[in-house]
């Protein structure tokens, strides 16, 4: 009998509890796996279809183990399914029933109304939106951001182009340095610094993009959001709320720090706009996104968002995440895209002379300082644009895309006549489509000027343009609204780097890091660079400008390189 002070019984009880706890872990895991496998199988039985499964083996917990294997790499599994030429079931670590369609059915997929196939339900789960940063109404926010991104970032890119170039110049020179001797720099960290500062310059203006406290907080917020979306969005639904709650603790801390800096800025813009609207004397508009977006938000005809400074600030944080982060779902990323582009350029066969060819094109486009502010100069970068698009084709961040959830109670009939139950996710095998030799000659080979040749045949394909055979930016009404902004920024970046820096080629392209459906560049890749020697230095408004005397042969670039 236990008596106060009798530590023997107390210690005995605690030890037994600890042993039971350790012994109970595998029991709980087994029960968990059995339940998931049973539920997965039950859901599939509701499908009145004869669609094939891929990646399934004859083993215990076959669906669960097939789903777990997708953590390592799902690309081969999806490629095997796509090769069958029909729709197929594919296992997924989220234990969500998924059907991927053949390329021929993509156009029909993207034209279905939200009442039949919902993209918002997928965003809530796959992007973990309902588990992370859940203090705003995300459906309304996404609609608002889609609207103002197109009106303020894309349509008015020419207003911010000069600022973008200035920040690219400063951030590249800070990270790559003015050292004219060969030295090492971390490629991904360089791309991240440039993306953070340049994106912040376009979004929030000069002050915040140079504010180290803001940059640190937005960097940590983006990192946590990115990891949260990738991890929480791909784990089994039973544990998703718990992991999401853990990620939200530090996430809220960094968000609070960002809000303390951002809310006063938004409030000042709202007050200025209200005053100018009242007096009828609207002054010259600032070029940054916040100024433009506040005007859109305050328009009487656009009431998709509150005019409260705190709410607007939170929505702008989500936009900043989409524009700046390494693993986003709202606007795309220039961190991994920029890193992938340079890795592809530096590892392409020497005979193509890609780096020098892109430099020659940049020389022609930017013959004076004024050209960096001219949108027409960017439109002449056909080869740089083609190189970006080819990297997007060969290195998509996701193996599958265009995911939508079946909404009707009685399920949905696929174009081939098969019926799938409510709750099924339907999408397209992005990577497999990009590697289809019906659409791309020698698809497994990186060909930087592939799309430039198409352009020379009067069939221009801009890096931001989508189609049912080019799905990196999604397609149709759900296509990434910030893709034009992202590609234009990257064109400026590549042009500036090639003009001002030499980079040593690499013998072999480093493998990307794979986690389930996602693929990223390694954070530990270093490249050797050196600043190009300047012929002339002069000052404009106190800013030192470097000019060089280039000797560029008067040749047809297409004829000489393609």
Q: Cα Rg for the chain, rounded, in angstroms?
A: 26
The predicted structure's pLDDT at residue 359: 97
The predicted structure's pLDDT at residue 538: 39
The predicted structure's pLDDT at residue 471: 93
Two structure tokens written together for 183: 């030295």
What tens digit of pLDDT does each residue of 159-182 get? 778 888 999 999 999 999 999 999
152 is in an annotated binding site: no
The predicted structure's pLDDT at residue 555: 31
DSSP letters spanning 291-330 = HHHHHHHH-TT--SS---HHHHHHHHHHHHHHHH-SS-SS
Two structure tokens written together for 260: 């303390």
Q: Is 7 exposed, middle or buried (0-12, 13-18, 19+ CB in 10 A)?
A: exposed
Report the distance separating Cα 69 and Cα 142, nearest Å: 33
CB 309 within 8 A of CB 263: yes
The predicted structure's pLDDT at residue 505: 96
The predicted structure's pLDDT at residue 247: 85
CB 194 within 8 A of CB 171: yes
SS3 258: helix
CB 486 within 8 A of CB 392: no
**Cβ-count burial 132-149 (b if 16+ within 10 Å, e if not):** bbeebebeebbebbbbbb
Positions of E strands within 157-217: 183-186
CB 332 within 8 A of CB 226: no
Answer yes or no: pTM beyond 0.85: no
Candidates 451, 439, 435, 423; CA nearest to 399 is 435
Q: Which parts of the chain sit beneath pLDDT 70?
A: 1-49, 133-158, 273-289, 292-308, 319-333, 456-460, 534-562
CB 471 within 8 A of CB 396: yes
- Strands 425-428 and 518-520 come out as unpaired
Residues constituting the chain: 562
Helix (H) or strand (E) segment spanning residue 406: strand 401-406
């Amino acid at each position: 009998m236990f008596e106060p002070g009798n530590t023997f019984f107390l210690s005995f009880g605690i030890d037994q509890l600890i042993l039971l706890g350790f012994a109970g872990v595998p029991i709980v895991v087994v029960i968990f796996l059995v339940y998931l496998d049973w539920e997965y199988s039950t859901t599939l039985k509701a499908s009145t279809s004869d669609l094939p499964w891929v990646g399934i083996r004859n083993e215990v917990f076959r669906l669960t183990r097939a789903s777990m294997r997708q953590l390592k790499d799902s690309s081969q599994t999806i490629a095997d399914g796509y090769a069958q030429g029909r729709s197929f079931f594919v296992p997924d670590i989220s234990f969500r029933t998924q059907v991927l369609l053949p390329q021929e059915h993509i156009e029909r997929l993207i034209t279905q109304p939200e009442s039949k196939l919902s993209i918002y339900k997928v965003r809530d789960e796959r992007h973990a939106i309902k588990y992370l940063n859940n203090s705003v109404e995300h459906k309304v926010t996404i609609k608002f951001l889609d609207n103002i991104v197109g009106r303020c970032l894309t349509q008015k890119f020419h207003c911010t182009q000069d600022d973008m170039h200035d920040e690219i110049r400063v951030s590249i020179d800070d990270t790559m340095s003015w050292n004219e001797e060969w030295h090492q720099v971390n490629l991904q960290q360089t791309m991240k610094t440039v993306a953070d500062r340049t994106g912040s310059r376009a979004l929030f203006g000069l002050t915040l993009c140079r504010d180290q406290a803001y940059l640190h907080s937005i960097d940590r917020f983006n990192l946590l959001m990115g990891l949260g979306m990738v991890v929480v969005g791909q784990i089994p639904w039973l544990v998703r709320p718990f992991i999401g709650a853990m990620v939200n603790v530090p996430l809220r801390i960094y968000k609070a720090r960002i809000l303390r800096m951002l809310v006063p800025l938004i409030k000042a813009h709202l007050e200025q706009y209200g005053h100018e609207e009242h007096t009828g004397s609207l002054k010259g508009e600032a070029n940054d996104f916040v100024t433009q977006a506040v005007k859109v938000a305050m328009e009487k005809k656009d009431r998709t968002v509150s005019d409260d400074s705190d709410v607007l600030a939170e929505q702008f944080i989500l936009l900043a995440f989409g524009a700046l982060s390494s693993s986003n779902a709202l606007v795309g990323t220039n961190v991994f895209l920029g890193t992938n582009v340079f890795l592809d350029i530096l590892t392409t066969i020497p005979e193509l002379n890609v780096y020098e060819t892109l430099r020659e094109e940049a020389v022609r486009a930017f013959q004076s300082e004024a050209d960096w502010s001219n949108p027409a100069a960017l439109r002449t970068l056909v080869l740089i644009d083609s190189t970006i698009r080819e990297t997007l084709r060969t290195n998509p961040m996701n193996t599958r895309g265009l995911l939508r959830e079946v909404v009707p109670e009685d399920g949905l009939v696929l174009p081939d006549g098969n019926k799938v139950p409510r709750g099924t996710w339907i999408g397209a095998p992005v990577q497999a489509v990009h590697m289809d030799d019906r659409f791309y000659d020698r698809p497994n080979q990186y060909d930087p000027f592939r799309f430039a040749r198409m352009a020379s045949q009067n069939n221009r394909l801009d890096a931001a343009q989508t189609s049912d055979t080019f799905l990196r930016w999604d397609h149709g009404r759900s296509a990434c609204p910030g893709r034009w902004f992202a590609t234009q920024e990257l064109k400026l970046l590549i042009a500036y780097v090639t003009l001002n820096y030499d980079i040593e080629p690499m013998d072999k392209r480093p493998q990307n890091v794979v986690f389930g459906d996602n693929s990223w560049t390694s954070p530990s890749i270093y490249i050797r660079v050196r600043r190009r020697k300047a012929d002339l230095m002069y000052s404009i408004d106190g800013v030192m400008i470097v000019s060089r005397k280039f000797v560029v042969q008067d040749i047809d670039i297409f004829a000489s390189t393609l």
